[in-house]
Structure 1
Amino acid sequence: MTTGTPAPFCATDYKARMDRAAQSAADAGLAGVLVAPGPDLVWLTGYQVPADTERLTLLVLAAGQEPTLIVPALEAPDAAKATGAGAMTLRDWTDGRDPYEITAPLLRSKGDSGRFGVSDNAWAMHLLGLQRNLPDTSYVSLTEALPMLRGVKDAAELERLAAAGAAADATYEEIKKVPFAGRKEIDISRELADLLGRFGHEQVDFTLVCSGPNGANPHHAPGDRVVQDGDMVVLDFGGLKHGYGSDTSRTVHVGEPTDEERRVHDIVREAQTAACDAVRPGIACQDVDRVARKVITDAGYGEYFIHRTGHGIGVSTHEPPYMVEGEEQPLVPGMCFSVEPGIYLPGRFGVRIEDIVTVTEDGGKRLNSTARDLAIVG
């Protein structure tokens, strides 16, 4: 497992990211970028808003303009401690004042009718507040306008993703040792969360345990169902380590599987291997999906593969790019995403196998290394 703590990002790193975002916006014909609390703000500045708040916090980026973070006065001391704070101007506002009047001049400097990219998780009331002050401005989501803003990882980011993947692998190796039969899904799920924490995750995002017929629901929330002998069990878990995501799925079986269960698992494993092997610079994201889907369709289970093949991962566990039909974005070195085909037979069982893959100069590299065969658990 990858060990040690990577060197922290510095103010220079964050300044380079902000400059790149501003220039990318200009190249895309945008007046600038508006970044609300969430993964985009963390990636650009290192600032994690201390709590989910309805008060306006907004980073304004535009080419030729000093990066400015609009922040509530009571949170300004925390914002000033962010690593990237030295690369931007902080402008605070107090309760009782209109934060949109304070923000509007920063947007007006780019023209009253500017079109701005805005992070996807911005609150609607904040955009509406800005539009009241600047009625001719318009907005487009960053996923639509700048989908690859965070999509290509540098060496330091890849190091963190590898460490997160290794910690998830260690978690899987340990969870296989615990009893499954006779225990509730939710109890095994909690054990997964504890293991992720033990192996260095500071944040656990999901620990799915989908047993028997629940395995046919890809996003089944672990509940009170008692795992039984003869169950297929889909495990899907991940979170953040050193600020970067892990996400892996393996399917295990309680006791000996039937011939059909083995066959379905073998088909999914073949599809996942084929899709991982197809990864290389220049092919479209949708081609990864097509490769996996063809294997499953040719085996007669196409209608039971009911989701995309993968999603990007970085400072959040789901982000662009997406491995899905219609996504023509070409793969480039440094992209990281999941490859996770599955087959889901309603009322019976499901199978999913998932690794994080990064695009290299001449192919792809998995960031998960645990065995992909059908593990037998007790």
Structure 2
Amino acid sequence: MLPFAINEYQERINQVKDIMQKRGIEVLLITNPANMNYLSGYDAWSFYVHQMLVIILDEDQPLWLGRYQDANGAKATTWLYDDNIIPYPDYYVQSKTYHPMGFIASILSQIGQGNRHIGVEMENYYFSAKAYEMLKTNLPNATFKDASQLVNNVRLIKSDQEIEYIKRAAEIGGHAMQKGIQGIHAGVRENDVAATIYHALISGTDTYGGDYPAIVPLLPAGKKTSAPHLTWSEDPYQAGEAVIVELAGCYKRYHAPLARTVSIGKPSQAFSDLSLVLTEGLNKALEAVKPGVTCEEIERVWRESIAKHGIKKESRLGYSMGLSYPPDWGEHTASLRPGDQTVLQPNMTFHMIPGLWFDNQGIEISESFRVTEQGCEVFSNYPRELLIQEPLPIDQSGKIS
């Protein structure tokens, strides 16, 4: 069953076509799997080979072009007619002689699209320099234009159904956060906590199961908390160290990221005070969210709050998020940072992550939220504070009881 009604997909395509027309793009080649999913429903772990969705300005339905063995997956997960699913043979896959973009170019030429203004997603994990060169070589009469964020920008404002999926993702993420933090104790291996989190993310709730997140759980501990994107090792946790847990619940490819920091035992006064500075700034920034305010204005509230304590944050405060595939859950559009004048509108969704990273330690407490008509709605209800994990009780034999 499709996650959305067909008319919602069609409305999304109409919005994309409106932008295409304004920008002089007659054919749009979409290779970002999140954008492919957004417009067609296609959902498979096939983005490691070349594939695309083709939007033609004067055609009602898109074309799906991909690997032959993935064609049945396209038939199973999209709303497209079978005739609009066009596979290439397997000898095109990772070949020294053939390239899928040569096949795709030949199809475009055969259907009379070889001499048109073609938009491609240039800034995209899934579209290589080689792919671009092969398209240009095989479509010499086409005019290529950069359409990197065209579909991404349409995705900024979510439908009510999308918001419901993010809420479910948030419930799954909160459950996984609780299970993970409950397992963090001195002597426990980091990888075992990661396994616990993964189990909770995929098993979901009694009502609905979870999907794989676009980013693995990030679990730096001790001095490694100074680097936000470390994962885990097989090392056991040590008493007295802090652990950052950043994860995202995922439901039907929609994400709700969440980060918390836990101290194994009583934290130092300085670290406890730092957590209060962070949460104060986070709360003020969330309170400033409302329609009509710009992204940079939200960031300024946070920056001025922490500046009173002599602290600066080099990185952005947050970013738009929602539907995504590996390697990240961001939409690559609006960012909460100086210079971004994107105006907030109802049903935009963001991950606000006021992490602070220093030479020997770091701390993160984040929230995902949506802009409402009046202000903002935070997706999670997990305690917004530095969490303290007390030592496990030890019996007379020296074993954990």
For residue 328 of structure 1, report the CA deviation from its aligned partner. Answer: 1.4
The answer to whether the Cα contact below 8 Å between 1:117 and 1:140 also exists between their aligned partners in 2 is yes
- Secondary structure in 1 aligned to 2:29? strand
CA 1:197–1:93: 2 relative to 1, 3 Å = closer
Matches of 1:106 and 1:339 in 2, distance apart? 47
Matches of 1:210 and 1:298 in 2, distance apart? 28
Residue matched to 1:326: 339
The answer to whether the Cα contact below 8 Å between 1:238 and 1:246 also exists between their aligned partners in 2 is yes
- Secondary structure in 1 aligned to 2:3? coil
1:313 to 310, 321, 336: 321
Residue matched to 2:201: 196
Matches of 1:74 and 1:30 in 2, distance apart? 31
For residue 58 of structure 1, report the CA deviation from its aligned partner. Answer: 2.0
Are 2:348 and 1:354 aligned? no
Question: Residues 223-275 of structure 1, C-alpha deviation per residue, up to 9 Å, x if partnerless?
Answer: 23432221122111114223211210011111111211111000110111111
CA 1:163–1:28: 2 relative to 1, 3 Å = same
Amino acid at match of 1:309: L
Matches of 2:231 and 2:182 in 1, distance apart? 22
Structure 1 segment 1-378 matched on structure 2, within 5 A: 8-36=3-31, 38-54=33-49, 56-66=50-60, 67-86=62-81, 89-94=84-89, 95=91, 98-105=102-109, 109=113, 111-112=115-116, 114-118=117-121, 120=124, 121-135=126-140, 136-143=142-149, 145=150, 147-199=152-204, 200-204=209-213, 205-302=215-312, 305-316=313-324, 317-319=329-331, 320-347=333-360, 349-378=361-390
For residue 107 of structure 1, report the CA deviation from its aligned partner. Answer: 8.9
Matches of 1:40 and 1:287 in 2, distance apart? 29
Return 199-208 or 114-123, whichever deviates more.
114-123
Matches of 2:249 and 2:110 in 1, distance apart? 36
Residue matched to 2:95: none
Question: Residues 170-223 of structure 1, C-alpha deviation per residue, up to 9 Å, x if partnerless?
Answer: 222333332421223222222221222232322133212221211111112212
The answer to whether the Cα contact below 8 Å between 1:35 and 1:41 also exists between their aligned partners in 2 is yes
The answer to whether the Cα contact below 8 Å between 2:27 and 2:54 also exists between their aligned partners in 1 is yes
Question: Residues 1-27 of structure 1, C-alpha deviation per residue, up to 9 Å, x if partnerless?
Answer: xxxxx9831333222222221222222
CA 1:374–1:74: 2 relative to 1, 3 Å = closer
- Secondary structure in 2 aligned to 1:81? helix
Matches of 1:321 and 1:361 in 2, distance apart? 19
Matches of 1:9 and 1:88 in 2, distance apart? 22
- Secondary structure in 1 aligned to 2:345? coil
For residue 276 of structure 1, report the CA deviation from its aligned partner. Answer: 1.0
Matches of 1:110 and 1:252 in 2, distance apart? 57
Matches of 1:130 and 1:80 in 2, distance apart? 26
For residue 33 of structure 1, report the CA deviation from its aligned partner. Answer: 1.9
For residue 108 of structure 1, report the CA deviation from its aligned partner. Answer: 6.0
Matches of 1:178 and 1:235 in 2, distance apart? 12
Matches of 1:231 and 1:362 in 2, distance apart? 40
The answer to whether the Cα contact below 8 Å between 1:234 and 1:249 also exists between their aligned partners in 2 is yes
The answer to whether the Cα contact below 8 Å between 1:165 and 1:367 also exists between their aligned partners in 2 is yes
Matches of 2:87 and 2:222 in 1, distance apart? 53
Matches of 2:70 and 2:225 in 1, distance apart? 44
Matches of 2:153 and 2:379 in 1, distance apart? 20
The answer to whether the Cα contact below 8 Å between 2:179 and 2:196 also exists between their aligned partners in 1 is no
For residue 50 of structure 1, report the CA deviation from its aligned partner. Answer: 4.6
Matches of 1:178 and 1:101 in 2, distance apart? 53
CA RMSD of aligned residues (A): 2.5
The answer to whether the Cα contact below 8 Å between 1:215 and 1:351 also exists between their aligned partners in 2 is yes
Q: Any gaps of 5 or more consecutive residues in structure 2?
A: 93-97, 391-401
Matches of 1:328 and 1:106 in 2, distance apart? 43
Matches of 2:19 and 2:110 in 1, distance apart? 18
CA 1:49–1:374: 2 relative to 1, 3 Å = closer
CA 1:107–1:265: 2 relative to 1, 3 Å = farther
CA 1:172–1:91: 2 relative to 1, 3 Å = closer
The answer to whether the Cα contact below 8 Å between 1:11 and 1:87 also exists between their aligned partners in 2 is no
| Number of aligned positions between the proteins | 367
Matches of 2:346 and 2:110 in 1, distance apart? 35
Of Structure 1 and Structure 2, which has the larger fraction of its residues in strand? 1
For residue 128 of structure 1, report the CA deviation from its aligned partner. Answer: 1.6
